[in-house]
Structure 1
């Protein structure tokens, strides 16, 4: 009878740890996706080819953002656009760092177990 409270406490700790880690994964992934969407919106606004009815797609890749940033850099050589593209390049570097940190966190030992149970995958 003395071991039951110990097992319940240990089970509760494991459950709460899993919930906190899963919430952390969701938060980091949401931050990555929202930053990527905001930089894609900034690039489309800056390129001036975006029509009024056109919207940013739901799934945006880093490679697509890089490609559109390079085409914008080649297309428009004005000083304003160059300054904006440099700022967007820095923001893209931060987004890549977010992705790297997320993927690195998922691969570490206790978090990888939670990621497999909660079906979290690398970005």
Structure 2
């Protein structure tokens, strides 16, 4: 899945300036789509945990520890797969995930235990 050199015909870069090995890197993590059931979808940055991705979208989320110790941030995973950065200590119910310590492995759909409301950034 490399980009043909003909794509660079009208580019300022000539083919000799392009490293053929760097056009496609299979180890690069692609951003995933996170869908909040019945609300909206967004693309998360690949380096963000699901909690950080929700916060980046100004979605109010409940959490305490950010490391999988307490379980306060638990949400329901309706579809997709996640990878945990570290093994959580908190109890995780069936079909639940801890967004504070996992990233989306595939596009996911989650259900929050509360309405998805934006954080009011204009508080005084």
What TM-score bracket applies, with the shorter chain setting the length?
under 0.3
Q: TM-score, normalised by structure 1?
A: 0.28
Q: TM-score, normalised by structure 2?
A: 0.28
Q: Quick one: higher RCO (CA 8 Å, sep 6+), 1 or 2?
A: 1
More helix by percentage:
1
More strand by percentage:
2
Rg larger for: 1
